[in-house]
Amino acid sequence: MNADRPLVKGFFDERTFSIQYVVADPETKKCAIVDPVLDFDEKSGATATSNADSILAFVEAQGFQVEWILDTHPHADHFSASRYLKDRTGAPTAIGEKVVDVQKLWKGIYNWPGFPADGSQWDKLFADGETFKVGNIPARALFSPGHTLASITYVIGDAAFVHDTLFMPDSGTARADFPGGSASRLYRSIMEILALSDETRIFTGHDYQPGGREPRWESTVAEQKAKNTHMSRCRSEAEFIKLREARDKTLSMPKLILHALQVNMSGGRLPEPEANGRRYLKFPLDTLHAAWDDR
């Protein structure tokens, strides 16, 4: 077995079309959990830990030890289970250091002047290019902004976890119209990912099952360069920006963006209970682009 080829197990969440990962060194049995989902039903306000508990059950069954809990960015379409998993495993949480820029932006949107926008909600903030290990497998954090100000790719051995940067080749690329997003930055981030070796395995954070096909989340750099429905037809940054911005104008905001960001920029912590013992989310009105603006 290739010493730099981790075992990768994906967990697909049908409600949010998200893929969560366990990335393990088969030799040492140490692993990282990437982008875990905390279950949330926006209609009832109910939360649960079914996704995270399934990951923990797999980890226990395999005899793995959780060494890292890794977020690629503060998600806009699901809650992060990072804090729950830290409480269960004791493993440190990590994200890219540019998360502070997302926190500063959204702290203003939520009108939270006292919110600590310093990344202290995570145990580790990775700098661009910073290296670490999962067991004995070398890993590094690659700054990949564009979808958000803070997005990073984790390159762990021969596997790259790109989340909302590239999708499967038949789905193209991620949107870049959120607050702080940039199609130009996204293009440059994608080109840096595609500069990895052709054999590098690419693992995406979502799959929206175009045409109703079964969910998929693994490809390679070579497949992405040859077949990605956006990258294979754009010969320049200008062409990509035109295509990406035209596509983004047709998209509504994710239904959970205002729910999720206030939790995820806090490292997956739910709001503190109020005097009656219940937790409450806060919604800024008339802040984001409305669906009817394009009609």
CATH number for the segment(s) 7-264? 3.60.15.10
**Contact by Cβ (8 Å): 268, 84:** yes
List pLDDT tens digits, range 36-60.
999 999 999 999 999 999 999 999 9
List pLDDT tens digits, range 224-261.
999 999 999 999 999 999 999 999 999 988 899 999 99
Cα dihedral 121, 122, 124, 129 sign: negative
List pLDDT tens digits, range 74-116.
999 999 999 999 999 999 999 999 999 999 999 999 999 999 9
Cα dihedral 220, 237, 99, 111 sign: negative
Tell how strand 152-156 and strand 137-143 pair up. antiparallel
Cα dihedral 95, 65, 51, 193 sign: positive
Q: Give the three-state DSSP class for 58.
A: helix
How much is the pLDDT for 287? Answer: 86
List pLDDT tens digits, range 122-159.
999 999 999 999 999 999 999 999 999 999 999 999 99
How much is the pLDDT for 208? Answer: 94
As a whole number of Å, the CA-based R_g of the chain is 18
Q: Give the three-state DSSP class for 25.
A: coil
How much is the pLDDT for 294? Answer: 54
